[in-house]
């Protein structure tokens, strides 16, 4: 996958992972991909709901030894 | 910024005081499970829609009510509440510890007192689970303890009594039992039906028709059908109090579908209701293991329970049905919604798997579906 930007939000509690994701997505172009790393388990549902409500696309997510990784394509 | 504790929220719910909740979790979590009460009104706007400004929330908030912002753990609700306060909203606070602490809070109510015994009910308001402490002279018995064992120890210490007996009316599927841990911490004997399949050491209720201590005589009302799992045991204390576990609720009868053996369970329930409970007097107080709707099921004295006679008179199923009719009606009313994570919770309660506190917390988060749909 062609990732334009990687956001490290590890160790941050809700709402910061989404606050930072919003800011980071503002810095890339439509169609580009943002990769997000977080350790906040609430992010799984929240990022899915957020991308849906904002028109971005959550391409996939995975759990890499406790680090949750998300790939979001800007809408 | 003011915070509100789960205890304070429980007081709003129980005392039926006006509270307006702005729930900032994602929509699916809100739909699944939220804080409810007769005078509790709530609206859901996910926090991520309020990061750039609280405008969408401002127009929905009433001017004349206490407002509480709620999220999963606390962080987002604090963030939103602060932004709203800056925008000029008064009477606003956030829920300390979020829905996690709401799920865990136990509200204590005194339900009964005579010269021999005193009974307290612990209402887990966020989940609808009930546990009890029966105090007599210098000892206490705990019925269906939650995993917050410290609370029972504290309350026993306040009354200056020692926890000597702990009973589980059934193997819980909706919450993790504190029975084994409480027994280890206090030295109290822990009783459970052997047929429920626990893998650790305990006292099998099959071998105890009665548990006697101080001025308490507890009769174990079990339908001992060999060969299959009973749904739930009831405990009848001093011919006055019926701890009905998962069989009889204030609003109806238990739901027999969790084991996937609806008809079998329904027959046990029939035997319990028509053989064991039928001979019990109308003025006995029924104290169940769950409730579905606090406002409907809490009585004027402020606890969840009712006289057996009242429950019988409201419930057609308990009135002169034959076994076949009864089973048919119960089966027809069975539903397939299960409590969240019930398979893992059952495995933990059997001692088959172990889980750290954080994992236990996660598994228990969410609604209680054991008593959601009572069978009328």
Q: Which residues of A touch B (CB under 8 A)?
A: 13-16, 18-19, 22, 41-42, 45-46, 48-50, 53
Q: Which residues contact A1 (CB under 8 A, 6 or more apart)?
A: A33, A59, A71
Q: Does B49 touch chain A (CB under 8 A)?
A: yes
Quick check: A45 and B26 CB within 8 A?
yes
Cβ distance A22 to B52 less than 8 Å, yes or no, reads yes
φ, ψ of residue B271 to 5 degrees: the values are -60, -40
Q: How far apart are CA B77 and CA B95, in angstroms?
A: 7
Per residue of chain B (376 residues), give pLDDT as tens: 899 999 999 999 999 999 999 999 999 999 989 999 999 999 999 999 999 999 999 999 999 999 999 999 999 999 999 999 999 999 999 999 999 999 999 999 999 999 999 999 999 999 899 999 999 999 999 999 999 999 999 999 999 999 999 999 988 888 999 999 999 999 999 999 888 889 999 999 989 999 999 999 999 988 655 544 555 789 999 999 999 988 899 988 876 655 567 777 788 888 888 988 999 999 999 999 999 889 899 999 999 999 999 999 998 889 989 999 998 888 887 766 777 788 899 899 999 999 998 889 888 887 766 554 445 4
Suggest the residue from A19, A20, A42, A45 to mutate for an interface test with chain B (most B CBs closer than 10 A). A42
SS3 labels along chain B:
CEEECHHHHHHHHHCCCCEEEEECCCHHHHHHCCCCCCCEEEEECCHHHCCCCCHHHHCCCCCCCCEEEECCCCHHHHHHHHHHHHCCCCCEEEECCHHHHHHHCEEEEEEEECCCCEEEEEEECCCCEEEEEEEECCEEEEECCCCCHHHHHHHHHHCCCEEEEEECCCCCCCCCCCHHHHHHHHCCEEEECHHHCCCCCCEEHHHCCEEEECCEEEEEECCCCCCCCCCCCEEEECCCEEEEECCEECCEECCCCCCCCHHHHHHHHHHHHHHHCCCCCCCCEEEECECCCHHHHECCCCCECEEHHHHHHHCHHHCCCCHHHHHHHHHHHCCCCCCCCHHHHHHHHHCCCCCCHHHHHHHHCCCCCCCCCCEC
Phi and psi for B203 in degrees, rounded to 5? -95, 120
Domains of chain B and any CATH numbers: 2-101 (3.40.250.10), 106-333 (3.60.15.10)
Residue B367 in contact with partner chain A when CB distance is under 8 A: no
Q: Which residues of chain A lie closer than 8 angstroms to B75, CB-CB? A: 13-16
Q: Which residue has the tokens 């308001």?
A: B125
Query: Does the active-site annotation cover B71?
Result: yes
Q: Pick the residue from chain A with its C-alpha nearest to B49.
A: A50
Q: Answer for the pair B149, B131: CB distance below 8 angstroms, yes or no.
A: no
Cβ of residue B44 closer than 8 Å to a chain A Cβ: no
The answer to whether B159 contacts chain A (CB < 8 Å) is no
* Nearest CA-CA distance, residue A2 and chain B, Å: 26
Q: Sheet of A33-38: strands edge to edge? A: A5-9, A33-38, A67-73, A57-64
Kindly report, residue by residue over B267-306, the tens digit of the pLDDT: 888 888 898 899 999 999 999 999 988 989 999 999 999 9
Domain ranges of chain A: 5-73
The Cα–Cα gap between B172 and B156 comes to 23
Q: Closest partner residue to B75 among A14, A22, A45, by Cβ?
A: A14
ipTM of the complex: 0.90
**Higher per-residue pLDDT: B252 or A63:** A63
The whole-number pLDDT of residue B1 equals 85
Whether a cis peptide bond, with omega within 30° of 0, leads into B348 is: no
Angle at B241 between CA B240 and CA B243, to 5 degrees: 160
Q: Which residue has the tokens 């050491």?
A: B201
Q: B47 vs A41: CB contact, 8 Å cut-off?
A: no
Q: Which of A3, A6, A13, A14 is catalytic?
A: A14
* pLDDT for position B166: 98
Please tell me the distance from the alpha carbon of residue B342 to that of residue B198, in angstroms, as a whole number.
15
> B77 to chain A, minimum CA–CA distance in Å?
9
- Report the CATH fold assignment for A5-73: Translation Initiation Factor IF3 (3.30.110)
Ramachandran category for residue B206: left, alpha or beta (phi over 0 → left; psi -120 to 50 → alpha): alpha
Quick check: A22 and B75 CB within 8 A? no
**Does B4 contact chain A (CB < 8 Å)?**
no
The 3-state DSSP class for residue B24 equals coil
CA neighbor of B246 nearest in space, from B58, A40, B229, B358: B229
With beta carbons under 8 A apart, name residues in chain A contacting B72: 14, 42
Q: From chain A, pick out residues whose CB is under 8 angstroms from the CB of B78.
A: none
Closest to A14 (Cβ–Cβ): which among B28, B73, B362? B73
Q: What are the chain B neighbours of A14 within 8 Å (beta carbons)?
A: 47, 71-73, 75-76
User: Which residue do the tokens 């929240």 mark?
Assistant: A46
Asked if residue B306 lies in contact with residue B286, where contact means CB atoms within 8 angstroms, the answer is yes
| pTM for the model | 0.89
Give the list of residues 6+ apart from residue B88 with CB closer than 8 angstroms, or none: none
Name the pairing type of β-strands B241-245 and B234-237.
antiparallel
Task: Tell me if B73 and A41 make a contact (CB, 8 A cut-off).
Answer: no
Determine the pLDDT at residue B213: 96
- The answer to whether B239 faces chain A, any CB pair under 8 Å, is no
């Amino acid at each position: 996958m062609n990732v334009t930007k990687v956001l490290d939000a590890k160790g941050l509690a809700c709402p910061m992972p989404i606050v930072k994701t919003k800011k980071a997505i503002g810095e890339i172009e439509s169609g580009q991909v943002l990769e997000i790393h977080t350790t906040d388990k609430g992010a799984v549902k929240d990022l899915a709901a957020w991308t849906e409500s904002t028109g971005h696309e959550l391409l996939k997510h995975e759990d890499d030894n406790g680090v949750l990784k998300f790939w979001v394509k800007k809408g | 910024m003011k915070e509100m504790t789960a205890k304070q929220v429980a007081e709003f719910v129980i005392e039926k005081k006006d509270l307006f909740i702005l729930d900032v979790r994602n929509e699916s979590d809100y739909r699944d499970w939220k804080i409810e009460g007769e005078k509790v009104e709530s609206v859901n706007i996910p926090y991520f829609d309020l990061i750039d400004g609280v405008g969408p929330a401002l127009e929905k908030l009433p001017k004349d009510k206490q407002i509480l912002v709620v999220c999963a753990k606390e962080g987002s609700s604090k963030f939103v509440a602060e932004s709203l306060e800056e925008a000029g909203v008064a009477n606003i606070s956030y829920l300390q510890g979020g829905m996690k602490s709401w799920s865990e809070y136990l509200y204590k109510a005194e339900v009964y007192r005579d010269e021999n015994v005193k009974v307290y009910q612990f209402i887990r308001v966020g989940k609808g689970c009930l546990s009890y402490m029966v105090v007599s002279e210098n000892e206490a018995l705990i019925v269906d303890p939650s995993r917050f064992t410290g609370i029972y120890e504290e309350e026993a210490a306040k009354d200056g009594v020692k926890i000597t007996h702990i009973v589980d009316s059934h193997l819980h599927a909706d919450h993790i039992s504190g029975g084994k841990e409480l027994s280890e911490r206090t030295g109290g004997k822990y009783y459970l039906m052997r047929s429920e399949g626990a893998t650790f050491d305990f006292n099998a209720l099959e071998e105890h028709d009665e548990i006697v201590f101080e001025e308490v005589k507890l009769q174990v009302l079990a339908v001992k059908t060999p060969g299959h799992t009973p749904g739930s045991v009831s405990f009848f204390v001093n011919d006055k109090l019926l701890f009905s576990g998962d069989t009889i609720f204030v609003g109806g009868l238990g739901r027999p579908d969790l084991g996937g053996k609806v008809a079998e369970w329904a027959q046990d329930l029939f035997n319990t209701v028509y053989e064991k409970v039928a001979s019990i007097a109308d003025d006995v107080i029924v104290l169940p293991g769950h409730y579905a709707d606090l406002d409907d099921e809490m009585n004027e004295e402020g606890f969840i329970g009712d006289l057996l006679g009242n429950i019988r008179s409201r419930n057609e199923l308990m009135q002169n049905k034959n076994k076949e009719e009864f089973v048919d009606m119960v089966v027809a009313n069975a539903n397939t919604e299960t409590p969240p994570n019930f398979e893992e919770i059952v495995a933990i309660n059997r001692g088959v798997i172990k889980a750290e506190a954080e994992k236990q917390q996660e598994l228990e988060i969410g609604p209680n579906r054991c008593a959601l749909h009572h069978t009328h």
